[in-house]
Structure 1
Amino acid sequence: MTTNLFEPAPPLIAATSDGRGFPVRRVFCIGRNYAAHAREMGKDPEREAPFFFTKWAETVVPGGTTIAYPPETANFHYEAELVVAVGKAGRNIAAGDALDLVYGYATGLDMTRRDLQFEARDKGRPWDTGKNVEQSSPLGLIHPATEVGHPGSGSIRLTVDGEVKQDADLADLIWSVPEVIAYVSRFYRLEPGDLIYTGTPAGVGAVQEGDTIVVSIAGLSNCVITVGAPARD
């Protein structure tokens, strides 16, 4: 019988509003899915096709967490996002059938080392060092779609220490939730436990140690985090 060299890390279990655990499998993040944000990143939304990047499941942390300011950056940015929690498997899903895969929705953040992202982008390199960062995917409570429906409109807002920084409507998404699910499913078989971060509105910016970030989306629980000191280990 084979023995392991070390104990594997336990699966990350996200919290749901009905008190059940949601084991997180993978994280897919949709890029530049609000026109105003695409423009503030220096891109033309009229000429862009959908695209996405991936992050490790271990980047997900619950709301209420104090996250460490990450190393190798001086420009750590917030990005408020509507998050889709996948509850059923599927590949090559038609947009008209995509919502059948959804378990529920949550508020979330895609925290980004923006300086490293831009450096990689300008050199034509992957974004991993800018995006796939420990504690960079804070997640609020996941609300089942049976409780909140399938939000296609409603406020999405982010504050830093009470000051509004991002303020938009989910209706401003360039690619809707069904379209996003259908697109990702062309490349990967979606599985229960997958999370899809659907993109962020305009207004992204840097945070500092001690800042408190609140993401609110109509009908969902807030996601609140505090930026802590850099990790020492």
Structure 2
Amino acid sequence: MKLVRYGAIGQERPGIVDASGTLRDLSAHVSDIAGEALLPESLAHLRAIDPASLPAVEGNPRIGACVGKVGKFVCVGLNYTDHAEEAGMPIPDEPVLFMKPTSCIVGPYDNVEIPRTSVKTDWEVELGIVIGKTAKYVSVEDAYDHVAGYCVINDVSERAFQIERGGQWDKGKGCDTFGPMGPWLVTTDEITDPHVLDMWLEVDGKRYQTGSTRTMIFNVPTIVSYISQFMSLQPGDVISTGTPPGVGLGQKPPVYLKAGQTMRLAISGLGEQRQTTVPAA
């Protein structure tokens, strides 16, 4: 299934995209694509519904982040061999973890703000994992049982804040609008192997990132299991799993975003995002 949230900011409704690409309203069956709606039994109920029986959504509403009421937004750094090489950093022995505040989450087509005093705002196309069942001390073998599905994430980052302001990555990762998510939450039955997905990102029509989840250092079950040893993961929590090479920081010389530019990014099977950069209010 391709699950969607649509409508004005703060008023999103649940939807599903049918096989023909038509957006249909799910609000008679679930209040939001969030929390308990992502439990295995809840997804089984939604999967049993004939999409043709649902009302089609009129017009072209705003598409919101594909998961609502996210409790935790956990990220993995330096998780692609070719990106670690690009950054000139050793391949980590264990996953590098940091958090993005949920206040940074926006829809896949919403504007991205260039923060005040920013000089090094950057892009990162990433595979997102959406948790569908509480995970606490889970094994690698059982980790897939706790995954509801996957989505596209743009882990927007301000490198000066991240690297040059005291060593806390969170400073450069959590600015408002720095977490575009969606357009869809694609459930695991449609993505048989999340480790063979092509991904790309371009700015103003120039391709910067061309990669694949094949070069991930730590795969999906390893990541879910590893994080669950340090914190419990609840339904609706989101994990961003790292980016392939081609970020602005890795260009020679480095290239960073400025207001008035357009980012487009996609992962095969998971849809495409598009954002315009604007000055922060």
Same fold (TM over 0.5): yes
Q: Which residues of structure 1 form unaligned runs of 5+?
A: 1-9
- Whichever residue aligns with residue 276 of structure 2, its letter is T
The 3 A distance-change label for structure 1 pair 134 and 41 is same
8 A Cα contact 1:16 1:143, kept in partner = no
1:137 — aligned with what? 179
Shift of 1:221: 1.1
Distance in 1, Cα, partners of 2:71 & 2:12: 9
Aligned counterpart for 2:159 among listed residues 106, 114, 136: 114
8 A Cα contact 1:213 1:226, kept in partner = yes
User: Does 1:40 find its partner at 2:52?
Assistant: no
Distance in 2, Cα, partners of 1:186 & 1:69: 35
Question: Which structure has the larger Rg over C-alpha atoms?
Answer: 2
Shift of 1:91: 0.7
The 3 A distance-change label for structure 1 pair 214 and 223 is same
Cα RMSD for the two superposed structures: 2.0
Where do residues 77-92 of structure 1 align in structure 2 (5 Å cutoff)?
A: 77-92=122-137
Structure 1 vs Structure 2: percent identity of aligned residues? Answer: 31
1:127 — aligned with what? 169
How many correspondences in the alignment?
218
Q: Once structures 1 and 2 are overlaid, which stretch shifts more, 125-134 or 107-116?
A: 125-134
SS, match of residue 64 in structure 1 = coil
- Between 1 and 2, higher relative CO (CA 8 Å, sep ≥ 6) is seen in 1
Shift of 1:101: 0.7
Distance in 1, Cα, partners of 2:74 & 2:108: 19
User: Does 1:195 find its partner at 2:230?
Assistant: no
Where do residues 55-66 of structure 1 align in structure 2 (5 Å cutoff)?
A: 55-66=100-111
8 A Cα contact 1:58 1:134, kept in partner = yes
8 A Cα contact 1:12 1:58, kept in partner = no
8 A Cα contact 1:13 1:21, kept in partner = no
Distance in 2, Cα, partners of 1:90 & 1:27: 14
SS, match of residue 164 in structure 2 = helix
Aligned counterpart for 1:219 among listed residues 256, 260, 269: 269
Q: Deviations over 1:15-69 (max 9, x none)?
A: 6645552331110000000112112222111x54211101111211111101221
Where do residues 142-221 of structure 1 align in structure 2 (5 Å cutoff)?
A: 142-205=185-248, 206-221=256-271
SS, match of residue 99 in structure 1 = helix
1:5 — aligned with what? none
Distance in 2, Cα, partners of 1:57 & 1:115: 21
